[in-house]
Amino acid sequence: MCSGRIDLEFVLRAFSNGQDGVFIGGCRLNECNYVTHGNYHALSMALLCRKIMEHIGLNPERLNIQFMSAGDGILFAEHMNDFGKKVKSLGPLGISEGIDKDVLKSKIEEITRLIPYIKIAKREKLGSRLTNKADYDGFFTSNEIDSLLRDVPSYYIDPDKCQACMICAKKCPAEAIEGSKNRIHVIDQDKCIKCGTCFEACPPRFGAVTRMVGKPVPPPIPEEKRTIARKSKEK
């Protein structure tokens, strides 16, 4: 596997487990072991992750990424020693940043839940190649991440419009839509990964799925009211 295989989730999981620092080592940039230059993907992911850490109040320097070859043992040792010192100076995770442990854990869990959404929203940037070190800092900006995490959409099925056709439910990759034929569909907000597949899938003539930003999702329609009486046919 390539360093570009490292998922945002792996890094967050380590912090969630209470690790004080995470180090990612990849091949030297432009000296790809494959032909894919996936180490640039790892770099983009790390830069994104650092901004997210900043957003939730963690010191981004707890995540370090370096590129080196198998022949760079001494360089590797230098980086590890530097990073070890750095992490020690930063102190234990959370306490140094003044975040309560439960708050931190729930914040990380919340971000982890948003990974699918983040991957979709930042897809282009995550796969790009930053060739100039000077560009690292501004690649993802704090504003960008703040708005990304502020404007998280929710998807809601309007019970008045839903025709219970099962199209969205069948397509949902997270199996987050409850319902069956003639039973109004409801999105389980805990399972929903905010990918928007249902929004795309709902036939335009129904337009039952709405994308909501900054508003609370209305409570699901009670179980007993979900059965559709096919009015048009009955009348």
- Nearest approach in angstroms of CB 221 to another protein is 25
Question: Measured between alpha carbons, how far is 50 from 52 in angstroms, rounded to an integer?
Answer: 5
CB atoms inside a 10 Å sphere around CB 160: 8
The reply to whether 61 sits near another protein by the rule CB under 8 A is no
For 12, residues 6+ apart whose C-beta sits below 8 A from its C-beta are 49, 108, 111, 112, 115
The reply to whether 193 sits near another protein by the rule CB under 8 A is yes
- Beta strands 22-26 and 209-213: pairing type? unpaired
The reply to whether 166 sits near another protein by the rule CB under 8 A is no
The residue from 27, 45, 63, 65 that contacts another protein (CB under 8 A) is 45
The reply to whether 20 sits near another protein by the rule CB under 8 A is yes
**Of 51-59, 69-77, 140-148, 213-221, which segment contacts another protein by CB under 8 A?**
69-77
**Of 47-55, 100-108, 141-149, 218-226, which segment contacts another protein by CB under 8 A?**
100-108
- Nearest approach in angstroms of CB 207 to another protein is 19
Residue type, 86: K
CB 46 within 8 A of CB 63: yes
CB 47 within 8 A of CB 139: yes
The residue from 130, 152, 174, 217 that contacts another protein (CB under 8 A) is 174
The reply to whether 115 sits near another protein by the rule CB under 8 A is yes
- Nearest approach in angstroms of CB 134 to another protein is 12
- Nearest approach in angstroms of CB 219 to another protein is 26
Burial of 202 (0-12, 13-18, 19+ CB in 10 A): buried
